[in-house]
Amino acid sequence: MYQIVDTNVLLVASKKAPQASEYCELACEKYLQNLMNAGVLVIDNQWLIIKEYMHKNSQTGQPYAGDAFLKWVLTHQATKRCEKVPITKIAENDFAEFPKSPSLEKFDPSDRKFVAVALTHPAKPAIANAVDSDWRNYEIALADHGVSLNFLCPELAVKN
């Protein structure tokens, strides 16, 4: 199964997001472990996503699950376990593949690369998110453009 992982999932799994519950941390750890065991990570071919992972996690793979995931990515980024797709950077945090829609004008610029990757890959993989509320705030607008999201934590569960 193809998957895209927002950096906040690694941060929560590494206990670097104080707003995340213990349940959320465990859910993110399990998600990353399952991906490393059997999934295929989808990333961009310019290393934008990997560089963001590297900025906030340890390349040694220690001490937390997010660090171990980064080490796994670095080890497998040139294998069949990671698929790289080309995205077209037209400006800082702006990509040709990102929908030009009024409903997404204020979407977090730093997260646009994940959307561009999702829309470029033929399987249109879901983007995993832990505690970034921006994804929930734009869920409908993103769905209108064919982007699906995977919310891992109850902190962002749909409220009835």
Residues 101-149 pLDDT 10s: 999 999 999 999 999 999 999 999 999 999 999 999 999 999 999 999 9
pLDDT at 49: 98
Q: Answer whether residue 73 shows pLDDT above 60.
A: yes
Instruction: Pick 155 or 35 by higher pLDDT.
Output: 35
37 φ/ψ angles, rounded to the nearest 5 degrees: -75, -35
What sign has the CA pseudo-torsion 10, 36, 51, 92? negative
Residue with tokens 């891992």: 152
Average pLDDT over residues 36-41: 97
Q: pLDDT-derived band of residue 159, with 50, 70 and 90 as boundaries?
A: low
CB of 95 closer than 8 Å to CB of 89? yes
The pTM (predicted TM-score) of the whole model is: 0.95
Average pLDDT, whole number, for the chain? Answer: 95
- Which residues sit opposite 89 in a β-bridge? 95
